[in-house]
Chain A
Amino acid sequence: MALLAAVIFFSTQSDRFLTGQNFSLILQQVMVVGVIAIGQTLIILTAGIDLSCGMAMALGSVVATKFAVDYGLSPYLAIPCGMLVCIAIGYLNGALVTSIKLPPFIVTLGTMNIAFAATQIYSQAQTVTGLPEAMTFFGNTFRLGGTSITYGTVLMLGLYVLTYLFLRETAPGRHVYAVGNNPEAARLTGIATGRVLVGVYMLAGLCYGIAAMLSVARMGVGDPQGGQTDNLDSITAVVLGGTSLFGGRGSIVGTFIGVMIVGVFRNGLTLMGVPSVYQILVTGILVILAVAADQLTHKKG
């Protein structure tokens, strides 16, 4: 609803807003946070939260680019290396949450700082430049009619479809909901809750790895300062999409809408000439409204 209203409003305000090109642009701008938000959604569905996602993404992108530039590794090997680092961070998060029963908030707060420091130390806080062509493939565009579309946005949309099918149509996907709803009940029905949790954190890590690849493609560099607000940005998108922070309730479609709301507002307000600080204001109001609306409907139901 809010997304639709925003789209209609902005199209009356700027003749450049309602064009395929501009929508392709919005998709391109949200693709990194959009893919991170997929991982964040999976984790929040299990009643967890991941603060380390943006820093994991930054570490993955620095590892991938440095492997390619400094050690001359082929991009087809360097990118998976970056992804592996992200999956490893996901595994560490999942293992700490399940085996020592630490709260996800604390675990990922710790790994967030570890990943950030590792990024700075490994890159000496220097941006990695001079990448081989193949590394930025997903930043390239193809033409569809009069619109140029970035390959990365297609990948993002594909991942959303895959996640949708995974959550709806597969047993492990339904286990994610079950564990988030009531871990005790899930355990009693024979679900290996620990394994589901570790799996979810690793899957999320894979999402951050893919986001790292997209970020590198979008920026054309490996950026050690990247991802610093992506944790809160992705949580914002998940919450706007109506997923409950208490786990077990929500949808990946909602997250996509949440990601788009933020992107549409940022782009639309910029086109109108409104300072970006108002965009932050609107986002803040929207988050509270979204959760309040959710609460009210559930009280009634």
Chain B
Amino acid sequence: MTAKRCFALALIASTTGAALAAEPIVGLITKTETNPFFVKMKEGAQSAAKRQGAKLLTAAGKSDGDNAGQVTAIENMISAGARAILITPNDSRAIVPAIRKAREQGIMVIALDSPADPQDATDALFATDNFKAGQLIGQYARTAMGGKPAQIATLDLFPGHPVGIARHNGFLAGYGAPGITPKTAGLARTAGVVCMADSFGDQAKGQTAMENCLQKNPGINVVYTINEPAAAGAYKALKAAGREKNVLIVSVDGGCAGVRDVKAGVIAATAQQYPLKMAGLAVDAGVAYAKTGKKAAGHVDTGVTLITDRKQDGVESRDSAFGLTACWGK
């Protein structure tokens, strides 16, 4: 009974059985199965693999921060004979020993979206320049405020995550805080920042964080958010307090729901990134390595665009109509 059921399931689920020896195998390990950003990334990888005639294996952590699941996935992909592994690390440091094991076997490992720590633990990093993404929305917010004194709340990711730190610090640098560089360690705090809270990139937690910030400081007029779900949560909290009209929310990501929020005026501006392109380029690099032995190296910037319908002079941006053509997710 069980066996039959499993057999049927596996037949439905499996596309091919044993791989042809000739086709290069590339593995993609995302943080979770459920986040639309990674779903889009997988799409980009799949279409690139198809185009290149490669076999793509996919796996993911069970939840954000699940390192053990990703270690298991790396081991399984080594076992499956992958020539290249692309990974968005859940824990930039804890994953390093497993990556080292893969590279010792002659497998090329590329970090996608966020770096391993140290960054040179992987052969290459294909990612958005998150500091730059932060800078864009920081410059935008500063111009939009037009010299009014700002009381800034930052809704960050969670403690210690390099992407969260890069976006946050980029935002403050873009807003004109002196002395903050991509090398700045930890979350910077400047005079204008009245509240910093972790949202885990999650709408419910973002709302809670914003509620607490408003509780602490009712005069907040600029809100930086790590991503659009957190921004949506922040907006809900502001609306409940009757403050949504005179607070500027800026964000990073460029998911379709987020761009629609830009169009609706919930979010003033967001820095859009391109997971499809990120994954496609990385698969191309993986196949190239399998065929020629030539490794990718360094940080490959996959681009970022400021999306807003309230254009500010001197800050380059595109409107939400463009954003909707280039967005990811539903």
Q: Which of A's residues lie within 8 Å of B, judged by CB? A: 1-2, 5-6, 9, 12-16, 21-22, 25, 28-29, 32, 124-127, 129, 215, 218-221, 223, 225-226, 228-229, 265-267, 269-278, 281-282, 285-286, 289, 293
Contact = CB atoms under 8 A, between A and B. Distances in A.
A15 B19 CA distance: 9
A274 B55 contact: no
Interface stretch (B3-11, B173-181, B208-216, B290-298): B3-11
A14 B18 contact: yes
21 contacts: A9-B3, A13-B14, A32-B68, A124-B159, A127-B93, A127-B160, A219-B67, A220-B94, A223-B91, A226-B67, A228-B63, A228-B66, A270-B57, A272-B14, A273-B19, A273-B55, A275-B59, A276-B33, A277-B33, A282-B6, A289-B2
A141 B69 CA distance: 20
Contacts of B73: 270, 276
A22 B62 CA distance: 22
Query: What DSSP secondary structure best describes chain B's contact surface?
Result: mixed
Interface of B: 1-3, 5-7, 9-10, 13-19, 33, 55-60, 62-63, 65-68, 71-73, 75-77, 79-81, 90-91, 93-94, 96-98, 158-160
A240 to B, nearest CB: 10
A285 B6 CA distance: 9
A77 to B, nearest CB: 23
B312 to A, nearest CB: 36
Contacts of B33: 275-277
A25 B80 CA distance: 12
B72 A1 contact: no
Nearest to A2: B2
B160 A271 contact: no
Contacts of B63: 228-229
A281 B6 CA distance: 10
Contacts, number: 141
A61 to B, nearest CB: 11
Contacts of A228: 62-63, 65-66
A1 B3 contact: yes
Contacts of B57: 270, 273
A215 B69 CA distance: 12
Nearest to A8: B3
B7 A9 contact: yes
A273 B57 CA distance: 5
A5 to B, nearest CB: 3
B93 A6 contact: no
A272 B17 contact: yes
Closest 5 CB pairs of A and B: A5-B3, A220-B97, A225-B65, A270-B76, A125-B159
Contacts of A289: 1-2, 5
A279 B228 CA distance: 30
Nearest to B90: A225
B68 A219 contact: yes
A84 B41 CA distance: 43
A13 B11 CA distance: 10
Contacts of A285: 5-6, 9
Contacts of B56: 273
A26 to B, nearest CB: 9
Given A5-B7, A221-B97, A286-B2, 20 more contacts: A5-B2, A5-B6, A13-B18, A15-B18, A21-B79, A22-B79, A29-B72, A29-B76, A124-B160, A223-B94, A225-B90, A270-B76, A273-B14, A273-B80, A274-B14, A275-B13, A276-B59, A278-B10, A281-B9, A286-B6
